[in-house]
Structure 1
C-alpha cells in the first residue's frame, strides 16, 4: 500500500487534535507549515473542545467562559503572584495574551497554555502590550509593554527585561493640543500596534489614537463617528473580523445600543499610516430593546466586554447593579438570550474578551517569576 494511502484525512486529524489539551499542541506547530497554519487558524481554535471567549477575574479566582453550544464557566489555574492577597486592578486581552494588572506589577499570561510571566513595577500602571515588528505576529516578535504614571510613560521589553523611558509625552503631544483623556485604559492590539479611544477637551469628538512601538510615539489615527452625550455612556473599542475596528456605544439615558465598524481593514502594517485617511465608519447594528439594562453601573464603573460572532450576533458581558456578571446575546434588534454567571461568586468581577492562542508567553530575562502549570 502506498504511503499516502495510510494517511488519515485532515478532517479526522483536526477532530482528534481538537480534543488534545492546548499545551500539548504547541510542538505540533513545528511539524510543517500546514500544521502550523491549521493549528493557528481561528476556525480550528474556535472548534476546540477547550476554547473560550471571555475571562473573568475576582479577588481570588480567574474563570473562562465558553459560548458554544451553551454557556460554560470553568475555573482557570494560573500562577499569578499575590492573586489571593489583592484583587486585580485591570484585566486586558491583547491579541495572543491576557494581562492581569495589580498594584505591584502585571502578569502576562496565555490562559490556554497555562503560562504566566510576572513584570514587577510598583510605581507605574500597565496600559497595554504590542510588538516591535508589525509584520511578524509569531512568537519571534519582540513584545513590549507600556506603562504610565504621573511622571510619564515607559516601555518594557519582555525578552530582555529592559526599560525605555518615553518621558512625559502624552497621547496627543504630536497634535499640539492640551488635555486629552483616555476614555478607557484598555487598548486594542492590531498588527503590533496599540490603539485607544481618548476624549479631547477642545471638542466633543472622540479620537482613536495609536502607540507605534517601532518609533515609540503616540499619533492621532482617526475620529470616532460620534460624540458622547453623557459621561456614563458605554463606549468600547474592539476588533472586527480580525483586521477592522468595531465600537459599541450604549446611551446611558435611553439604553439604546449602536455598533459601528470600519468599512475596510485597518492599514497599519508598515507602522507609518498614522493618519487613518482611508478609515470609513458605518453603522453595523442598532438595538432599542425594551427594559434592557445599562452596561455601565454608577456604583462600580467598568466598561462592558463584547465581541461579534460569526453569525453577526453581539455577545456582551457586563455586571448588573448588584455586581452579578451576565452574558447577553443580541441580534436583529432583539435580545436573544441572557444568562447570569452564577459560578462567579464574588461580585464585580473584572472581565474581558479573549480568543485563545497557541503562541507561548515570550521567554528571556525577566524582572520576576515565570511559571508554567
Structure 2
C-alpha cells in the first residue's frame, strides 16, 4: 500500500499521551522520532497520567495533578525485601526518582513505571539514616550512568557521610573533613579557612548528577548573623564545596526557604516571610554549570503580598512547602495547614488564585514533594517482565497505532 496515508504527527502525539507509561518504555524502540518524543519533558507533562506532587501518609500514597484540573489518585508501591514493614520518614525527588527514606534503609521508586529498588544499610549502621539524594559521576565518559546515593547520620559536628553505589551495591564512608571546606566566599576573595556549615537537608535538589543544598554559616565568630549560600556535592570528587550566594536568607525559624530546579537547567528559590507572609521567588538567569557557580545571577520572578496568605512552613515539624512554577508564570504550592490537612495553593498576579484542600488525603501531616514523572528506569531495580525481556523489532508507526 504505497499510497497509504499517514496520521498527522499532532494526532500521533495525542494518541501516545494516552498510552500507559510502562508501554512507552518499550515503544522507544519503534523509531528515533518516538524515542525523542518520549524524552521530551513537554510530552510527559501533557501525558494523561502525569502528576506534579506525591504525598505519603501512614496508610496511603497519593499523586496530585493540578493541570488541566486538580486530580488526586492513589499510588501503589511494592516495597521490596526487609523494608516492606518499615515506616517512611523522608521523601525526596531526585534524578527522576523518588527516594523514600525508611527507618532502616531506603526505597528508590519510579512510580510512573512501577519500579522499585531497595537500599539496605551496612550491618551495625546507626538508625535514623538521612538519605539526601541521588546523583552520578558526571566526569565519566561512559555510556551507562552509575547512580549513587548520599546519606548522613549523626547530624552534628561528627556527622558521618556515606555513599551507596547502585551498580556494585557497595558503601563508602566519607572523611569528616569533607563535610567542611576551605573557601573564599562567593562574594569576596578573602580566605576564611575552615568554617562550620549548617546544612539544610529539607531542600536538596539534583541537577545533572550533582546535588545542591542550602546552607548557612556565621559571618564571623563574634556575631550571630548568618550568611546563606548554595553548596554542592559532586559525586565525581565526592566532596562538598560552596557553589554560589543566595539572593536572600532566613530571618526567622519559620521562614520558608526552598530550592527547586527551574526549566530543567536553572534554579528557582522561594521564600516566605513568617512575619509578613510575603512570598518572593527568584530564578537564575543562566544555565547551571557545576563548575561555574560564581557566575550565577539571580533575578526576581515573583513578589506577592497577600493578606490572607497561609503560613507555608508546617507548625508540627517545620517542614518546608513543595512548589513549582508553571508555564503561565504561576506559583503552585503544596503545604499543610495548622491542623495537618494538605492544601494546594495557586498564586499569580499578586493574588491567591485558588486554594483547594485535598479531602481525599485523609491522614494528617503527610510527607510531600514535587515530582514530575520520568521514563528513566531504575538501575538494577525491579522491572516488568515485558520491559526486561521483550525487544521490539522495528515496526511501522501506523501498525503500532492501529493495535
For normalisation by structure 1, the TM-score amounts to 0.91
Q: Report the counterpart of residue 189 of structure 2 in structure 1.
A: none
Residues 98-148 of structure 1, C-alpha deviations (whole Å, 9 max, x = no match):
11101100110101001110101253321110011368898x311000111
Residues 128-179 of structure 1, C-alpha deviations (whole Å, 9 max, x = no match):
10011368898x3110001112341111111210112212135432333333
Question: Is 1:315 equivalent to 2:323 in the alignment?
Answer: no
> Matches of 1:85 and 1:164 in 2, distance apart?
26
Residue 240 (structure 1) shift: 1.0
Question: Is 1:93 equivalent to 2:93 in the alignment?
Answer: yes
> Matches of 2:7 and 2:168 in 1, distance apart?
43
**Contact kept? 1:59, 1:85, Cα under 8 Å:** no
Residue 297 (structure 1) shift: 2.6
Q: Report the counterpart of residue 67 of structure 1 in structure 2.
A: 66
Partner of 1:12, secondary structure, is helix
> Matches of 1:321 and 1:116 in 2, distance apart?
33
Q: Report the counterpart of residue 256 of structure 1 in structure 2.
A: 278
Residue 30 (structure 1) shift: 2.6
**Contact kept? 1:59, 1:83, Cα under 8 Å:** no
Residue 221 (structure 1) shift: 0.3
Partner of 1:169, secondary structure, is helix
Among 164, 170, 174, the alignment partner of 1:166 is 174
Question: Is 1:350 equivalent to 2:367 in the alignment?
Answer: yes
Unpaired runs of at least 5, structure 2: 184-192, 220-224, 386-403
> Matches of 2:170 and 2:85 in 1, distance apart?
28
Match runs of 1:222-371 below 5 Å: 222-268=244-290, 273=291, 275-363=292-380, 370=382
> Matches of 1:159 and 1:35 in 2, distance apart?
29
Greater CA drift, 255-264 or 24-33: 24-33
Alignment CA distance shift 1:321-1:252 (3 Å): same
Q: Report the counterpart of residue 149 of structure 1 in structure 2.
A: 153
> Matches of 1:330 and 1:310 in 2, distance apart?
13
Question: Is 1:196 equivalent to 2:213 in the alignment?
Answer: yes
Q: Which runs of at least 4 in structure 1 moved beyond 4 Å after TM superposition?
A: 81-86, 134-138, 370-373
| Corresponding pairs, count | 361
Residue 204 (structure 1) shift: 2.1
Partner of 1:16, secondary structure, is helix
Alignment CA distance shift 1:136-1:295 (3 Å): farther
**Contact kept? 1:205, 1:228, Cα under 8 Å:** no
> Matches of 2:91 and 2:142 in 1, distance apart?
22
Residue 201 (structure 1) shift: 2.7
Residues 333-356 of structure 1, C-alpha deviations (whole Å, 9 max, x = no match):
111000000111110000000011
> Matches of 1:65 and 1:332 in 2, distance apart?
24
Residue 17 (structure 1) shift: 1.2
For normalisation by structure 2, the TM-score amounts to 0.85
> Matches of 1:40 and 1:292 in 2, distance apart?
37
> Matches of 1:361 and 1:352 in 2, distance apart?
19
Residues 55-105 of structure 1, C-alpha deviations (whole Å, 9 max, x = no match):
001112111001122111000011125788454111100131011101100
Residue 315 (structure 1) shift: 0.1
Partner of 1:101, secondary structure, is strand
Partner of 1:277, secondary structure, is helix
Question: Is 1:181 equivalent to 2:181 in the alignment?
Answer: no
Max Rg structure: 2
Question: Is 1:104 equivalent to 2:104 in the alignment?
Answer: yes
Greater CA drift, 336-345 or 182-191: 182-191
> Matches of 1:161 and 1:311 in 2, distance apart?
43
Q: Report the counterpart of residue 131 of structure 1 in structure 2.
A: 136
Alignment CA distance shift 1:136-1:17 (3 Å): farther
Alignment CA distance shift 1:146-1:168 (3 Å): same
